[in-house]
Structure 1
């Protein structure tokens, strides 16, 4: 049984235990056992469930909540993921055997994001139960399709009446040093596949065929001319990128039967995924193209306010760093959580995430735990 005092003093040990559980996305089993064993001695009621089927599942999720014995007070949540990307070949040591070399803890997930989870567990151990309601929203598929993870956890919270008032996502947002950047929003993402059907034929007899390539080129040219916006106060301009072209024609003397392209759009909060799909269909279909689309996530923004202010003050108090509020980078599960409450992302330095020999500074784990403790107390009871 884990001792509460030990947890409070040992984010390095907690991070090492989590790293030692191999949990390539989608994660299930041992890594959730490990986290549950950390949380139950702290008074958290832990709910675990597996949902979804192949190809995007099954996925394991964990929701843990600790309420005061009396008035539940405010509810502050920490959200994160236990799954990691595949380690790849070429590590200096086993990626799932945590190893401290010098001032760094090495292992897959050290930064993204088992280190942050460990720091928040350590912080939670030092938060009085009577301060308010505290919860962990932890999924096993953030690094994967993210179909059966945080969205399923949101369904659970809405069904059980456990939606938090504020939520912190522990993604590695820091850049040069711990605390220098906090994410208050993210751009949305939508991918589209454009297909133009033609009629195969001999190049010497074009009147007997229908070449789809010029039509696809015309569609892409029209799309390339689109300026979605000039950016906003908090977001850079939305952009459309062609990410693949495919004809698959092995013969030099054959007009192909079809041509395809893929585009990816990263967009700010002036757009929605559906509005952009309609825009591209409006260009492609009159020119003979068909469009299939998949929305990875909508843009969201938590305007600067209470939560970002609490986090910035906690960072300043522990490190002296003046943090930058940003919306840069890719998507995260905050895109889902933003639908139910104000959400901000803050965590470790991201320089080695998804890389070989991923590593976190041991000192940063300790400092992050102290920052998280200040943030939690301020979010629950209004003091840091």
Structure 2
């Protein structure tokens, strides 16, 4: 199967989160002739799809998403964002790289392989990866666990490659947490500071303490944890008034030396040391995770060398992905297209690279399914 027509059909579904716009129906039509049975899973506004062929182990799952970010300023596009036009050997459209191309390539890879492969193949496809990620993969996994469908291993088709196809396999991701701090003082006149308590001064000292010393120097597989102040707000229009409250927001990208709990404790300790009245609000979109290199990762590397002719680097950089949810259930790694144009105007992928990705995925499937355990 050529993945290009399937990708074009998917791109022509304007599935900007949370809209499905027919994308799951396109996948069902492609998977049914390949012997898959599927279950449509709707949570809230989100359409999700679980499809499986076979009932025996080993069970290999492919995880991906059909939702896309908005096209943005159309003036930056030279092609229709949802037209899937091919020009000079390149297919253009939102999702061409992230990651309808990966989904199409994986299904085409399955079609190219014998039906009598050992074990089982499944796909976990969500429409909520680019959005809040509350009604997508995380809930499908809960359904899979309740129904005995948790795989032995999973490949996520995010566009991980940096310069050439197959040069990077992600075996983990940093955690991410957002922190909101409000320090309360006593409002007063700037000419009489002894009668007030300036919360700005207190917040500046807190932020200096939090940013002056690195949280760590990195670990074996992760770069150093970063803490960035993303906002500092007082909302004070007057020049002669000490405000009653000062607020800041932080974003922390953390490695496997920390957890959201330990980092929250650290921030609270700094606030307590300042002795101020404060409010602290923390939200964590995902803890850090690592799939330790072993048989599963080695098989992925070997298949990539064979099919792509490159030595893949094992990496944990970048933002978050739905692999953070899958890692709670089974070994997971991410391998996909070159991500140079994802989320950009004129998002695109070369047609031959798309076909090469499908061949790479066929090699991955053939390498992983004969194995009995990769945990």
Residue 55 of structure 1: aligned partner: none
Q: Does the aligned pair in 2 maintain the 1:27–1:82 contact within 8 Å?
A: no
CA distance in 2, matches of 1:285, 1:262: 18
CA deviations 1:232-283 (Å, max 9, x no partner) are 1111111111111001111112111211001111111111111111111111
Q: Does the aligned pair in 1 maintain the 2:13–2:20 contact within 8 Å?
A: no
Say whether residues 1:355 and 2:339 are aligned partners: no
Residue 64 of structure 2: aligned partner: 80
| Higher alpha-carbon deviation: 41-50 or 93-102 | 41-50
| Higher alpha-carbon deviation: 42-51 or 168-177 | 42-51
Residue 36 of structure 1: aligned partner: 28
Residue 43 of structure 2: aligned partner: 51
Give the alignment of 1:235-246 within 5 angstroms.
235-246=222-233
Residue 194 of structure 1: aligned partner: 181
Residue 322 of structure 1: aligned partner: 311
Q: Does the aligned pair in 1 maintain the 2:187–2:243 contact within 8 Å?
A: yes
Q: Does the aligned pair in 2 maintain the 1:182–1:323 contact within 8 Å?
A: yes
Q: Does the aligned pair in 2 maintain the 1:111–1:353 contact within 8 Å?
A: yes
CA deviations 1:105-145 (Å, max 9, x no partner) are 11000000000000001011233343221100111111111
Q: Does the aligned pair in 2 maintain the 1:106–1:358 contact within 8 Å?
A: yes
The structural deviation recorded for 1:62 is 1.0
CA distance in 2, matches of 1:309, 1:102: 36
CA distance in 2, matches of 1:237, 1:277: 17
Give the alignment of 1:1-384 within 5 angstroms.
8=1, 10-52=2-44, 58-67=45-54, 72-89=56-73, 90-131=76-117, 132-287=119-274, 288=276, 289-382=278-371
What SS does the aligned partner of 1:217 have? helix
The structural deviation recorded for 1:230 is 1.2
Residue 3 of structure 1: aligned partner: none
CA distance in 2, matches of 1:101, 1:227: 48
Count residues with an aligned counterpart. Answer: 367
CA distance in 2, matches of 1:329, 1:125: 31
CA distance in 1, matches of 2:57, 2:251: 43
CA distance in 1, matches of 2:371, 2:177: 39
- What RMSD over aligned residues (CA atoms) do the two structures have, in Å? 1.4
Q: State the TM-score, normalized to the length of structure 1.
A: 0.93
Q: State the TM-score, normalized to the length of structure 2.
A: 0.95
What SS does the aligned partner of 2:238 have? coil
CA distance in 2, matches of 1:20, 1:371: 25
What SS does the aligned partner of 1:144 have? coil
CA distance in 2, matches of 1:153, 1:327: 24
CA distance in 1, matches of 2:272, 2:251: 18
Q: Does the aligned pair in 2 maintain the 1:238–1:268 contact within 8 Å?
A: yes
CA distance in 2, matches of 1:285, 1:293: 16
> Where does structure 2 lack aligned partners over 5 or more consecutive residues?
none
The structural deviation recorded for 1:310 is 1.7
Q: Does the aligned pair in 1 maintain the 2:41–2:140 contact within 8 Å?
A: no
> Where does structure 1 lack aligned partners over 5 or more consecutive residues?
1-7, 53-57
Change (3 A) 1:364 1:244: same
- Runs (4 or more) in structure 1 with deviation over 4 Å come to none
CA distance in 2, matches of 1:284, 1:226: 16
The structural deviation recorded for 1:333 is 0.5
The structural deviation recorded for 1:171 is 0.3
